[in-house]
A and B are shown apart, each in its own frame.
Chain A
Amino acid sequence: MNIVVAIKHIPSIADDLPVKGNNVDFDSVDFVLNEFDEQSIEQAVLVKEAVGGTVTVVGVDVIGELDNVLHLALAKGADKAVKITGDDPAADSHQQAKWLAEAIKGLSPNIVFAGVQASNDLDGQIGPMIAAYLDMPYIGGVSSVEVSDHTATVNKEFAGGFGAKYSVSLPMVVGVQAASKPPRYAPISKVRQVAQMATIEKVAPSGGVSSGLSFKKMAPPVVTGHAEMIGGSSKEVAAKIVELLKSKGLA
Chain B
Amino acid sequence: MLTTIEKIVFVALALVSAGFTVHGFKLIIDSIRKGRPAPELKNVPASLLNAGVKVLFQQTIFKARKALSAIHMGLFFGLITYAFVNLFDVLEGLVPGFDLVYGGAHIPNAPTGLINAFNLIADVMSMFLLVAITVFLIRRFIVKDKALDYRENILLNPKVKAGGQQIDSLIVGAFVIMHVIAHLMSQSYRLTNGAYPFMPIASFLNSIFGTSETGVHVAWWISIGWVMFIIPYLSRSKHTHFFMAPVTLGLAKQNPRGQLDPAIPLKVIEGQKFDPGAKFIHDLSWKRALDAYACVQCNRCQDVCPMNFAEGAPLSPSALEVNKRYLLKEATFGSHPDRLLLPLTETVISAEAVWSCTTCHACVSICPVGNEPMADIVDIRRRMIVDGAELDSGVQNALQSLATNGNWMSKGKRLRGRWAKEMEFPVKNATEEPVEHLWFVGDTASFDERVIPNTKMVARIFQQGGLDFGIMYQNESNAGNDVRRVGEEGLFEQLVEQNMQAFGKAQFKQIVTTDPHSFNTLKNEYPQFGGKFEVKHYTMTLLKLFEEGKLTVKNKLSNYKVTFHDPCYLGRYNGGFTAPRKLLEMLGVEFVEMPRNCENSFCCGAGGGQIWMGKVAPGERPAENRIKEALTTFGESTNEKTQLFIVTCPKDMVMYSDAVKTTGNEGKIEVRDIIQLVAEAVGVEEPVVAEAVAA
Contact = CB atoms under 8 A, between A and B. Distances in A.
A14 B411 contact: yes
Interface stretch (A46-54, A189-197, A210-218): A189-197
A225 B692 CA distance: 11
A122 interface: no
B388 A187 contact: yes
Interface string B486-526: 00111101100000000000000000000000000000000
A185 B412 contact: no
A12 interface: yes
A184 interface: yes
B413 A225 contact: no
Given A15-B413, A182-B393, A187 B385 contact: yes
A105 B396 CA distance: 35
Contacts of B415: 14-16
A185 B490 contact: no
Given A185-B400, A189-B386, A226 B694 contact: yes
Contacts of A226: 692, 694-695
A32 interface: yes
9 contacts: A14-B415, A15-B412, A15-B414, A32-B404, A184-B388, A187-B490, A188-B493, A190-B386, A190-B490
Given A14-B412, A190-B386, 11 more contacts: A14-B415, A16-B414, A185-B385, A185-B388, A185-B399, A187-B488, A188-B488, A188-B491, A190-B490, A191-B403, A225-B695
A184 B396 CA distance: 8
Interface in A149-199: 182, 184-192
B393 A188 contact: no
Interface residues of A, number: 22
A9 to B, nearest CB: 12
Contacts of B694: 225-226, 228, 244
B388 A189 contact: no
Given A182-B393, A185-B399, A189-B490, A14 B405 contact: yes
B258 interface: no
B391 interface: yes
A213 B694 CA distance: 38
Given A30-B413, A182-B393, A189 B276 contact: yes
A15 to B, nearest CB: 3
Nearest to A192: B490
B165 interface: no
A4 B405 CA distance: 27
A158 B390 CA distance: 29
Contacts, number: 63
A244 B693 CA distance: 11
B259 interface: no
A188 B276 CA distance: 12
Nearest to A247: B694
Contacts of B493: 188-189
B625 interface: no
Most buried by B among A12, A187, A191, A226: A187
Interface string A112-139: 0000000000000000000000000000
Interface string A7-30: 000001011100000000000101
Closest 10 CB pairs of A and B: A15-B412, A189-B490, A188-B490, A14-B412, A188-B491, A185-B396, A15-B414, A187-B385, A225-B695, A187-B386
Contacts of B386: 187, 189-190
Contacts of A228: 692, 694
B410 interface: yes
B489 A189 contact: yes
Interface string B405-424: 10000111111000000000
Interface of A: 12, 14-16, 28, 30, 32, 182, 184-192, 224-226, 228, 244
B358 to A, nearest CB: 21
B250 to A, nearest CB: 34
Contacts of A15: 412-415
A194 to B, nearest CB: 11
B315 to A, nearest CB: 23
Contacts of A32: 404
A226 B385 CA distance: 42
A182 B394 CA distance: 12
B494 A188 contact: yes
Contacts of B494: 188, 192
Contacts of B388: 184-187
B412 A12 contact: yes
A12 B412 CA distance: 7
Contacts of A12: 412
Contacts of A190: 386, 490
A178 to B, nearest CB: 13
Contacts of B405: 14, 30
A31 to B, nearest CB: 10
Contacts of B385: 185, 187
Most buried by A among B385, B388, B405: B388
Most buried by A among B276, B403, B415, B493: B403
A34 to B, nearest CB: 13
A127 B21 CA distance: 73
A67 to B, nearest CB: 14
A159 to B, nearest CB: 25
A69 to B, nearest CB: 10
A72 to B, nearest CB: 8
A187 B489 CA distance: 9
B69 to A, nearest CB: 44
Contacts of A184: 388, 390
A70 to B, nearest CB: 14
Most buried by B among A182, A185, A192, A226: A185
A128 to B, nearest CB: 28
B78 to A, nearest CB: 52
Given A14-B405, A185-B391, A191-B490, A30 B412 contact: yes
A224 B694 CA distance: 10
A191 B414 CA distance: 24
Contacts of A225: 694-695
Nearest to A12: B412
B401 to A, nearest CB: 8
B254 to A, nearest CB: 27
A30 B413 CA distance: 8
A192 B396 CA distance: 18
A35 to B, nearest CB: 10
A192 B413 CA distance: 21
A78 to B, nearest CB: 14
A159 B420 CA distance: 43
Most buried by A among B415, B490, B695: B490
Interface string B363-396: 0000000000000000000000110101101001
Nearest to A188: B490
Nearest to B691: A228
Contacts of A186: 388
Contacts of B488: 187-188
A14 B414 CA distance: 9
A188 B403 CA distance: 8
Contacts of A16: 412, 414-415
A179 B311 CA distance: 35
B580 to A, nearest CB: 28
Given A182-B393, A190-B386, A14 B490 contact: no
A234 to B, nearest CB: 12
A182 B391 CA distance: 10
Contacts of A224: 695
Contacts of A244: 694
A237 to B, nearest CB: 14
Contacts of A192: 490, 494
B470 to A, nearest CB: 21
